């Protein structure tokens, strides 16, 4: 592999407090799960959710992810300091500030979920427990990637419940697809930390299987994800536009895996963001256009 680029450049450390905070929680990566939540919401509302529901779902998504990322940073604070890829991360925000922001975002998420309906309010602590649990899994299981997938799979299920106050088959199928998608791309991303994780005794499929075999597992996971999206289209009774967009998603996944095969960290990071952002955006646009045509 090529040398690992620093995750946080010195210039960013001296930026504004808001910029440093967004860098700490990788706010730009919110785009990955958010479109799947909005797509599920559109299907549940038959293309006509109220602005209030859309706003509250968006707020819940941002707050839950912020709380989860802050918890992850706090749980891995000392590990990140020892990892060359993330060594400067702890300089972005002081630890006591991160704790306060974590508690505030978690409390705000629960309050916002309670404002949607009774069911989302009752399930909000369960959702937080799921997204927090991922951060400690690499200490005791090789399947940590699937727990991250589960954390993001909560999004479409939560959005569906926000609209209907119940859980049906379509969000379960979509959630399963999201779980496989996230687990696959997290395996690819974890190849960057292969040597560090081995040294520290941290667990992952990449450490257990090695990089080549792990990348093959990621391919199979993304193949299953693609089939799950097709199944979602069928059970959600979507039409031609949705299915016509699926080859675009297949192409983006193919590009991601071709980049991962190069074992070039810059290529992996570029493909990681571009491919996955493209996949989620195409999904949302395809659902919206199909429902509104």
Residue-level pLDDT at 222: 96
The pairs formed by 96-102 with CB atoms below 8 angstroms and a separation of 24 or more are 98/24, 98/70, 98/73, 98/74, 99/74, 101/21, 101/66, 101/70, 102/67, 102/70, 102/71, 102/74
- Domain residue limits at 137: 10-292
Residue 3 in any domain: the answer is: no
Q: Rounded to an integer, what distance in angstroms lies between the CA atom of residue 153 and that of residue 183?
A: 10
Percent of the residues in the chain that have a pLDDT greater than 90, as a whole number:
62
Name the most confidently modeled range: 70-74, 91-95, 193-197, 241-245.
241-245
DSSP 234: H
Q: How many domains does the chain have?
A: 1
Kindly provide the b/e burial profile for residues 2-14, where b requires at least 16 CB atoms within 10 angstroms of the residue's own CB.
eebeebbeeebee
> Which pLDDT tens digit goes with each residue over 56-114?
999 999 999 999 999 998 988 887 778 777 777 777 788 899 899 999 999 999 999 99
- pLDDT range class, residue 195, cuts 50, 70, 90: confident
Residue 261 in any domain: the answer is: yes
Residue 5 in any domain: the answer is: no
CATH label of the domain that carries residue 236: 1.10.357.140
Global confidence as pTM: 0.88
Residue 264 in any domain: the answer is: yes
CA-CA distances (angstroms) from residue 199 to 79, 254, 256?
11, 31, 27
> Which pLDDT tens digit goes with each residue over 22-67?
677 676 677 778 999 999 999 999 999 999 999 999 999 999 999 9
Residue 55 in any domain: the answer is: yes
Residue 226 in any domain: the answer is: yes
**C-alpha 29: how far from chain center:** 7
Q: What are phi and psi of 106, to 5 degrees?
A: -65, -45
Contact assessment for residue 261 and residue 216, using Cβ atoms and an 8 Å cutoff = no
Q: What is the CA radius of gyration of the chain?
A: 19
């Amino acid at each position: 592999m090529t040398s690992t680029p620093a995750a946080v450049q010195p210039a960013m450390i001296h930026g504004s407090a808001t910029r440093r905070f967004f860098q700490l929680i990788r706010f730009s990566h919110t785009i990955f799960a958010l479109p799947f939540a909005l797509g599920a919401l559109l299907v549940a509302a038959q293309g006509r959710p109220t602005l209030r529901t859309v706003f509250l779902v968006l707020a819940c998504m941002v707050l839950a992810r912020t709380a989860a990322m802050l918890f992850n940073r706090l749980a891995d604070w000392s590990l990140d300091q020892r990892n060359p890829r993330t060594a400067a991360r702890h300089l972005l925000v002081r630890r006591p500030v991160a704790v306060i922001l974590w508690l505030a975002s978690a409390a705000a998420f629960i309050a916002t979920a309670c404002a949607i309906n009774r069911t989302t309010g009752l399930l909000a602590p369960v959702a937080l427990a799921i997204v927090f649990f991922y951060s400690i899994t690499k200490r005791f299981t090789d399947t940590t990637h699937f727990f991250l997938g589960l954390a993001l799979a909560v999004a479409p299920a939560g959005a569906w419940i926000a609209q209907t106050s119940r859980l049906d088959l379509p969000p379960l199928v979509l959630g399963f697809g999201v779980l496989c998608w996230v687990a696959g791309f997290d395996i690819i991303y974890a190849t960057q930390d292969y040597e560090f994780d081995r040294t520290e005794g941290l667990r992952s499929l990449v450490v257990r299987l090695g990089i080549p075999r792990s990348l093959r597992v990621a391919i199979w996971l993304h193949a299953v994800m693609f089939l799950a999206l097709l199944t979602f289209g069928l059970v959600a009774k979507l039409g031609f536009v949705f299915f016509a967009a699926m080859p675009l998603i297949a192409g983006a996944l193919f590009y991601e895996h071709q980049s991962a095969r190069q074992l070039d960290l810059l290529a992996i990071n570029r493909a990681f963001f571009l491919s996955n952002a493209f996949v989620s955006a195409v999904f949302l646009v395809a659902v919206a256009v199909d429902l509104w045509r």
